[in-house]
């Protein structure tokens, strides 16, 4: 069977570059990298059967992993309903030389409940559609031979109240096509019996240090860890210590990370026993600090590296017309960040979605600040069950742990517009305990509970100044939403939606200029950040600066850059 995208909607230019033999071949975890790994993206067998079915007799065809089954790039483009079970199957030859090591089967993200079988044996299951997970499968596989991998997936979108962002089974207005199943890279990684599981990297510019906690598996008395921090290939500092200790490395005259100069130090971690290196991983860090302080006029300001910074960003849904949640290529994933920076924004609010780790890596190295939403579930009038709250907490903790080392991420946003909002004060305290180094936007829009570091309002088209600050920074979490329909570059749908429609490019530019002129005095009055809706059109929603296929910028790039540069006044 030959793979091809399903036609019927607009596509991006990167879809033509996509190869079914090697989709998304890049290493998926840049902050904990090993040399040896095996990418399992590509064609898998698939079947959609009733939820009650616990096995598959025959498959419906092939699907291109890691594109969600509802997407055109999957080659399937079928809806998965709550009463269905989605099955994936492929065989993989595991190198004989990996024998004797532990073998990890990694999934970047699977929406929503995934159960994994290897050679007919169940190896584990996972709930949650936005965070990576892995299973150790060495006892289930035959090294040097073919092995059978089966994944079955349930996704209760539309009936469940789990975290799902903007997904719906019945798309309309600001809600988009649901995604199901595997939507990030699947990969195998052999690791030694004693190995590094994770790193926790905490920079401190006040002491010019970087603290590193190393989570290791199966260490023995006398094992040592060597950590080296490098500026390019030049070693800046290194330390050898007990791997169970938190290590503190002092960096002389550190180069601070910021949007103008996003410098990243390389990190090499070697786990040693009797002078022999058992495991080696590479990582990186940016040395920066985010906090609050009052200016001379008494306004609370957000500060980066102890200097006030105004942040102007875009709302970024992370949707693609051809891949839905999954960008067609790494180049496409990078494009959205590059164009956002090119036209003069210094921040992205990643809206109710967690991206693949490479997206954050690109933000780290390009110097793009990120406000990270927790993907919310349900509607604000829906109560959450005890089990649903448990899943929220688990995925929140996993998201923070997964993204903790990324210098670009500076704000956590646990709730948006009241969607599934609960226990706001307690959850804010929990986030503070998990990560005291970042700011918290406890409720972006609508139901402010007087906690967190910012007071965030949504106003369309806006802008206007938030009130009831209570010692918090003033933020407009969403505004704008100016819409313009560009023929032949929109989703095929009868109804096109935006917060305010413009009839011509000239009218759109004039209205955008008005927004900018109204925003400028608010900055002088203490506004710390504003998020424009939005960077691209999405499905039926046409209020993007770019069309959904990323082909047309609706306002001239140079004009946008000029308008945006006027916002970054000295504070």
Q: Torsion-angle region of residue 32: left (phi > 0), alpha (psi -120 to 50) or beta?
A: beta
Report the DSSP pairing between strands 186-191 and 38-39. Answer: antiparallel
Ordered DSSP codes for 128-174: -SSS-EEEE-GGG--TTSEEEEEEEEE--TTT--S--TTEESS-BTT
What is the 8-class DSSP label of residue 310? -
- Condensed to tens digits (0 to 9), the pLDDT of residues 326-382 reads 999 999 999 999 999 999 999 999 999 999 999 999 999 999 999 999 998 766 667
- What tens digit of pLDDT does each residue of 408-463 get? 999 999 999 999 999 999 999 999 999 999 999 999 999 999 999 999 999 999 99
pTM of structure: 0.97
**Structural class in CATH, domain 290-565:** alpha beta
pLDDT in tens, 175-232: 999 999 999 999 999 999 999 999 999 999 999 999 999 999 999 999 999 999 999 9
- Return d(Cα 365, Cα 385) in angstroms, integer: 40
User: What confidence score (pLDDT) does residue 570 get?
Assistant: 83
Structure tokens that stand for 195 in this block: 């190995």
Query: Where in 427-496 does DSSP place strands (E)?
Result: 439-440, 454-459, 473-480, 482-483
- Please give the structure tokens belonging to residue 364: 């780290």
Mean residue pLDDT of the chain comes to 96
* Candidates 2.60.120.260, 3.30.1330.40, 3.40.50.150, 3.40.50.920; CATH matching 13-191: 2.60.120.260
Assigned token pair, 214: 């190393």
For domain 206-285, give its CATH number from 3.30.70.1400, 2.60.40.10, 3.30.230.10, 3.40.50.2300.
2.60.40.10
Domain ranges of the chain: 13-191, 206-285, 290-565
Residue range 319-324: mean pLDDT, rounded: 98
**pLDDT class for 387, splitting at 50, 70, 90?**
confident
Q: What's the confidence (pLDDT) of residue 1?
A: 58
């Amino acid at each position: 069977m030959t793979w091809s995208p399903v036609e019927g909607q607009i596509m991006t230019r990167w879809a033509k570059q996509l190869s079914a033999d090697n989709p998304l071949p890049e290493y998926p975890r840049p902050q904990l990298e090993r040399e040896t790994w095996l990418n399992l993206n590509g064609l898998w067998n698939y079947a959609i059967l009733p939820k009650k079915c616990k096995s598959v007799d025959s498959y419906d065809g092939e699907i291109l992993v890691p594109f969600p089954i509802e997407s055109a790039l999957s080659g399937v483009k079928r809806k998965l309903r709550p009463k269905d079970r989605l099955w994936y199957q492929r065989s993989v030859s595991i190198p004989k030389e990996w024998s004797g090591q532990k073998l990890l089967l990694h999934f970047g993200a699977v929406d929503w409940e995934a159960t994994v079988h290897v050679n007919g044996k169940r190896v584990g299951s996972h709930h949650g559609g936005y965070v990576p997970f892995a299973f150790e499968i060495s006892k289930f596989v035959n090294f040097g031979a073919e092995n059978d991998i089966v994944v079955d997936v349930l996704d209760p979108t539309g009936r469940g109240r789990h975290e799902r962002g903007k997904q719906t089974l019945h798309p309309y207005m600001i809600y988009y096509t649901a995604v199901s199943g595997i939507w990030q890279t699947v990969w195998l990684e052999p690791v030694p019996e004693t190995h590094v599981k994770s790193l926790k990297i905490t920079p401190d510019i006040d002491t010019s240090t970087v603290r590193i906690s190393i989570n290791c598996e199966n260490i023995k008395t006398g094992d040592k860890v060597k950590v080296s921090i490098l500026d390019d290939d030049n070693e800046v500092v290194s330390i050898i210590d007990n791997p169970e200790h938190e290590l503190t490395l002092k960096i002389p005259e550190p180069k601070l990370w910021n949007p103008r100069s996003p410098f990243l130090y390389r990190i090499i971690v070697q786990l040693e026993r009797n002078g022999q290196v058992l495991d080696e991983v590479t990582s990186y860090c940016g040395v920066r600090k985010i906090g609050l302080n009052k200016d001379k006029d008494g306004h609370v300001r957000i500060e980066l590296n102890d200097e006030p910074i105004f942040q102007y960003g875009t709302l970024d849904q992370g949707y693609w017309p051809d891949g839905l949640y999954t960008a067609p290529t790494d180049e496409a994933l990078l494009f959205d960040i590059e164009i956002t920076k090119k036209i003069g924004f210094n921040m992205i609010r990643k809206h109710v979605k967690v991206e693949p780790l490479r997206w954050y890596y690109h933000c780290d190295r390009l110097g793009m600040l990120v406000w990270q939403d927790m993907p919310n579930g349900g509607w604000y009038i829906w109560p959450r069950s005890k089990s649903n709250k448990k899943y929220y907490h688990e995925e929140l903790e996993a998201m923070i742990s997964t993204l903790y080392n990324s210098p670009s991420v500076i704000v956590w946003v646990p709730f948006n517009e009241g969607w599934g909002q609960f226990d706001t004060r307690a959850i804010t305290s929990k986030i503070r305990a998990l990560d005291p180094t970042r700011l918290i936007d406890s409720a972006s829009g609508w139901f402010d509970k007087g906690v967190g570091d910012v007071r965030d309002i949504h106003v369309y088209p806006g802008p206007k100044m938030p009130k009831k600050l209570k010692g918090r920074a003033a933020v407009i979490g969403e505004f704008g939403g100016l819409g313009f329909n560009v023929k032949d570059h929109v989703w095929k749908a009868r109804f096109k939606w935006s917060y305010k429609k413009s009839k011509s490019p000239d009218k759109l530019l004039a209205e955008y200029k008005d927004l900018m002129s109204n925003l400028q005095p608010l900055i002088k009055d203490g506004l710390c950040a504003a998020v424009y809706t939005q960077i691209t059109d999405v499905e039926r929603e046409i209020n993007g600066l770019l069309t959904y296929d990323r082909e047309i910028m609706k306002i001239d790039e140079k004009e946008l850059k000029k308008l945006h540069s006027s916002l970054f006044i000295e504070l």
